[in-house]
Amino acid sequence: QSALTQPASVSGSPGQSITISCTGTSSDVGGYKYVSWYRQDPGKAPKLMIFDVSNRPSGVSDRFSGSKSGNTASLTISGLQAEDEADYYCSSYRSGSTWVFGGGTKLTVV
């Protein structure tokens, strides 16, 4: 049982937009601005896509955006492309000095 709740899978067609949700509590997602999103390809290390809820690191496409409302954070990918297919994980700082993750969402581009 992961600390943060994500849908197990999401799918979309090329060109569409999809949103992946990440639900926590007021002790993590809802209480801090320190939500990050990671992409992970099979057998590879996670790659940072969004930090501090809505900031993109240099080099990450502006098709990726993040937001938060209450205890739920969201990752939106617009203009979906085949190469976006991967697993996506959310994470958040949690009070008491811990770092928690969601269970991951498998994105399929159909």
Partner 1 sequence: EVQLVESGGGLVQPGGSLRLSCAASGFTFSTSNMNWVRQAPGQGLEWVSYMTSTNSKIYYADSVKGRFTISRDNAKNSLYLQMNSLRAEDTAVYYCAREGLSGHFGADYWGQGTLVTVSS
Q: CB-wise, 17 or 98, nearer to partner 1?
A: 98
Q: Using the rule CB under 8 A, which residue among 10, 12, 27, 32 binds partner 1? A: 32
Q: Give residue for tokens 């959310």.
A: 90
Cα–Cα distance measured from residue 22 to residue 42, given in angstroms and rounded to the nearest whole number: 21
Smallest gap, in angstroms, from Cβ of residue 99 to partner 1? 4
Which amino acid is residue 97, in one-letter code?
Answer: S
Which amino acid is residue 110, in one-letter code?
Answer: V
Sequence-distant (≥ 6) Cβ neighbours of residue 70 within 8 angstroms:
30
- 106 contributes a contact to partner 1 by CB under 8 A: no
Provide the binding-site residues for partner 1, judged by CB under 8 A: 2, 32, 34, 36, 38, 44-48, 51-52, 57, 89, 91, 93, 97-104
